[in-house]
Amino acid sequence: MIDRNKLADEFIARATWSGANRKPLAGDASNRRYERLHLHGKSAVLMDAPHEKGEDVRPFIQIARFLCDHGLSAPQILAEDPANGFLLLEDLGDDLFARVIPRDPAMERPLYEAATDALIHLHRVKPPEALALYSPAVMLDMASLAWRWYLGGGLAANDDAEQAFRAAFAPILAQHCNDASVLIQRDYHAENLIWLPERNGPARVGLLDFQDAMAGHPAYDLVSVLQDARRDVPPSIEEEMIARYVSATGQDDTAFRTAYAVLGVQRNLRILGVFGRLCLMGGKPHYIDLIPRVWGLLLRDLEHPALFPVATLIRDALPAPTSKILKGLKDRCATIPKP
C-alpha cells in the first residue's frame, strides 16, 4: 500500500518546507486533501491528490498558470510533483466570500460585483485550445444525472421519463447554449472565491477548485455564482449582476437571459444528481441538506418560456424534496459501492 504521508513528507522536504507546522484544511467534494503549512513566518497550502482515487493535478497546474498569466488570482504553484499527486500552493487566506458576507453584510453586493467583473475579464481571453468542450451533448448527459442519482437513488437508469426528458431538452440546449467560447471553471461560487482586497481589479477575487475547467457558454459561471447551491443570493443582486455582465460584454440581452435560464435548469439538474451521488456513493450526507435550495432554483428557471417543452416533464418525473425523500436518500448513504 502506498504511504502517502511518507510521500508528502518527502515532497515537502524537496520543496524546502521541511519542519513546517502542518494543519488540515477543509476539503471539497473530491478525494483531494489539503494542509496549511507554516514555516519562518510564511504559509503555503499542500494539495494531496491521489492517483489511486482518480485525482490528477496536471489540469490544476495548467488552468492555474493560465489564470495567473491573464491577471487573475489563482494560487501560484510553489512546487509540484505530478507523478505522485502533490502540489505546494500559494496561500490565498481564509476570506472566502461565504465567510466575509455573514461577517460584513454590507460587502455582499461589492463582492458579487467583483466576482462578475472577474468573469468579464476572463471572458475577454481566448480559452486554452486543449480544453474539452462543455457541449450540448455533454450538458445533456450531466443533467440526466438527476434521474439516476436523485430520482432513482442510484438504481434507475434509462427509463422512459429520462428518455422523454433527453429528447425534449436536447434541442433546447442546441438552440440556446451552443457556445463554447470561454473558459468555464464550473464550480464558481462563494465557497470557492477568496476576497483579496489588497490586490487590484479582477485580481481581488482569489480562485479555487477550477481544475475541471472546460470551454463553455459565457453564462455558465455566472449561473454558478448567482444560483449558488450553498447560499441564498438576493434576487436583486442576481438581476443586477446579469445586467452588469450583459452591459460590459455587449451580449444580446434576450439571448443571454434565455441561455442563463436554460443553463440554470441544466446545472441544477446536474447538482441534484451529483449531491445524490455524493451521499449514496461517497458517504457525504450533508449534501442532501442543500437539495431544497437547488430544487427551488430549478423550479424558478423552469418558468422561462424557452423551458416550456421540458417543464412539465421535469415536474412530473422528479419528486419535490420532501423530508421523506431526503431521509430516504440519507438512509441509503454510502450503500452503493464505487466502481
Q: Which domains does the chain have, with CATH numbers?
A: 4-90 (3.30.200.20), 97-331 (3.90.1200.10)
What percentage of the chain has pLDDT greater than the value 70? 97
Q: What are phi and psi of 72, to 5 degrees?
A: -110, 165
- Separation of alpha carbons 333 and 222, rounded Å: 31
Please, what is the Cα angle at 36 between 92 and 2, to 5 degrees? 125
Give residue 153's pLDDT band: very low, low, confident or very high (50, 70, 90).
Answer: confident
Q: What per-residue confidence (pLDDT) applies to 1?
A: 62
Cβ contact 114:196 at 8 Å: no
Nearest to 26 by CA among 94, 115, 79: 94
Please tell me the distance from the alpha carbon of residue 325 to that of residue 312, in angstroms, as a whole number.
20
Closest CA to 174 of 203, 209, 131, 137: 137
Place 53 in a pLDDT band, splitting at 50, 70 and 90: confident
Of the CA atoms within 13 Å of residue 330, those in its CB half-sphere come to 14
Cell of 173: 440546449
Output the CA torsion sign for 232, 234, 237, 238. Answer: positive
Nearest to 169 by CA among 55, 339, 63, 318: 318
Residues in contact with 280: Cβ distance below 8 Å, sequence separation at least 6, in sequence order: 149, 153, 154, 329, 332, 333, 334, 335, 336
pTM tops 0.85: yes
Q: Tell me the one-letter amino acid at 154.
A: G
DSSP 230: S
For residue 22, give the H/E element and its range.
strand 21-25
pLDDT at residue 237 is higher than 60: yes
Percentage of the residues of the chain whose pLDDT score is greater than 90 = 90
